[in-house]
Structure 1
């Protein structure tokens, strides 16, 4: 297939649905580990069209959603300080911290800027040598390489008024954390194709073998996801637990060697907190010793800042696949895209945002009808 519309071909989709229906004989629970996949599933109604034996569980694959509340508050604290230009991608500006967000800081006079690349922030630092410029580096293995390259360039060019607020996380330890939870119901994973395009697939076979779960590397278009489901269900029905690459047009077993070398140079693995989930060992990155001077947490001395998650927000349960968004009491009532309690409602890849947007557009019951107050 060469063109985008071919990945949404209804006739090919029908054949995949028919193959899945002919294969499945018992209930199975599959988790997609990417917010982009979640939005594609909900937008196209894939979860509603699959046989009733197959349940798709939405995992912690939204990079904005898993950024912990304490890191948001650190960003707010830094962005509020005089002499600071705080740069971020636009999807972080409305993520709620404790009592406010980056939009509020900007409204209060903070110099908060939306950029489209971390290199934009580096350029701003060169143009404003009298200011401290901070870029908010969040996300999975997909966004980490360009952020690492930016810090590498800052050191090479001697730009000392640039720093990175790091909140990068890694997918394989998250899968391990989910599978070791006593509440886990996941029997197979649809792995994120863009993550594997960077890191390859070498970390996944040991997880598949240890937890006896199929792991299928999957893309993001409807046919990509259906092919991933088809392969996962076939493995489950046969009692197999292997890693399969259903996204070969983008993923090679070794990943992207240049990006991996850059990550190994600039970052080192560390324990990392996930919003609503808690700390997962070895699940994130921080700047390595050679680049530690560019660490915004150290530069602005906010490393000890701690927070408490709001009790009304159940995004942690959503991110762990323990709760569907519409099953949360606050969904669509207290919590909406205009008044979000958590990042899963405001992020463009959040599961709650997907349910709020596409289930309404599809003519399904409105959030208020699904989760009435009182």
Structure 2
């Protein structure tokens, strides 16, 4: 592996040109930071992190929705990373400390098991990108118990990338696409970034060689003037993706426009439950209404970080008031968050 890495770095150095490559995957950022990949690349080859952490992009409004349900006596189930993500004024961890019934589960199936054993209403806060949406869809299609419902916080990666490209804020020149997402939706939804915007792309796996190879593929496209989407992760990703999973998503969810943390409303970027499954839609079941949402704690620059406009080190709170033991912004909460990863590996 060491020899292959050295060879790839040599090839990258030969093709190096000023370029800003964005990835949109927390696992990619982890690999990059853990292995010091940015320090191995020529200075003109920049890799920035985009909105690749599914927990981090859940906006305050959706945390507040869950907090409203806790106040109504509903049992909230969700992933552990969601507990400390800030809402407008508090978090699910705060609600749990104050006696609210908030429980950590490792998947929607565990939330359903809780609903089957108890009489209380149970809501699963379903966060995640296209990777986890099929599981939520499959469980809804299996007709869970009447006291169970879902608050869908699922989001779609291509619309967020489209927003970033057209906003002009990040000035990105190329994209490393997320391997996990592409196993579900394939490479087709990303192609127009190359055909319409002339952006080189590569789908990457998750080890250091995958990242280096994707950078090389992108630079080779730049050299040849042939922007396209190369599939470096061909051992897991097909052009058409997982058709069965896509069909489940289409059957259960409808695409809507909604804000992300650090973003305004992004067109056609979220998945909400269709009317025919409204008995499992917590927003419909409990008539949730949240107003006057405060998005970011004072001094937090999570928004610019999620948009690839800043690095964690640019934040005055980073490593001081804001750290993994006391996270102020969402990007420090999750292990997939850019700030959390930077805090763990930057000093290396």
Residue 93 of structure 1 aligns with which residue? 83
Residue 280 of structure 1 aligns with which residue? 266
Please say if residues 202 and 218 of structure 2, whose CA atoms lie closer than 8 Å, have aligned partners that are also in contact: yes
Is 1:144 the counterpart of 2:136 in the alignment? no
SS at match of 2:196: helix
SS at match of 2:170: coil
Residue 134 of structure 1 aligns with which residue? 123
- Write the mapping of 1:49-64 to structure 2, written as runs, cut at 5 A: 49-64=40-55
Is 1:225 the counterpart of 2:217 in the alignment? no
Give the whole-Å Cα distance in 2 for the aligned partners of 1:48 and 1:65. 26
TM-score (norm 2): 0.97
Of 326, 334, 338, which residue of structure 2 is paired with 1:339? 326
RMSD of equivalent CA atoms: 1.3
Is 1:103 the counterpart of 2:93 in the alignment? yes
Give the whole-Å Cα distance in 1 for the aligned partners of 2:72 and 2:323. 30
Please say if residues 332 and 340 of structure 2, whose CA atoms lie closer than 8 Å, have aligned partners that are also in contact: yes
Of 300, 310, 314, which residue of structure 1 is paired with 2:286? 300
Of 229, 245, 250, which residue of structure 2 is paired with 1:264? 250
Please say if residues 59 and 259 of structure 2, whose CA atoms lie closer than 8 Å, have aligned partners that are also in contact: yes
- Write the mapping of 1:168-317 to structure 2, written as runs, cut at 5 A: 168-309=154-295, 310-317=297-304
- Quote how far apart the aligned CAs of 1:306 are: 4.0
Give the whole-Å Cα distance in 2 for the aligned partners of 1:45 and 1:79. 42
Please say if residues 255 and 268 of structure 2, whose CA atoms lie closer than 8 Å, have aligned partners that are also in contact: yes
Is 1:23 the counterpart of 2:23 in the alignment? no
Please say if residues 272 and 285 of structure 1, whose CA atoms lie closer than 8 Å, have aligned partners that are also in contact: no
Give the whole-Å Cα distance in 1 for the aligned partners of 2:169 and 2:327. 26
SS at match of 2:266: strand
Residue 43 of structure 1 aligns with which residue? 34
Give the whole-Å Cα distance in 2 for the aligned partners of 1:311 and 1:236. 40
Give the whole-Å Cα distance in 2 for the aligned partners of 1:294 and 1:96. 25
SS at match of 1:39: helix
SS at match of 2:191: helix
Please say if residues 312 and 341 of structure 1, whose CA atoms lie closer than 8 Å, have aligned partners that are also in contact: no
**Distance 1:46-1:20 versus aligned 2 partners, 3 A rule:** same
**1:241-300 CA distances to partner (integer Å, 9 max, x unpaired)?**
101111011101111111011001000111121101121000111001211221112222
Give the whole-Å Cα distance in 2 for the aligned partners of 1:239 and 1:77. 53
- Quote how far apart the aligned CAs of 1:80 are: 3.3
Residue 167 of structure 1 aligns with which residue? 153
Residue 318 of structure 1 aligns with which residue? 305
Please say if residues 65 and 290 of structure 2, whose CA atoms lie closer than 8 Å, have aligned partners that are also in contact: no
Please say if residues 33 and 345 of structure 2, whose CA atoms lie closer than 8 Å, have aligned partners that are also in contact: yes
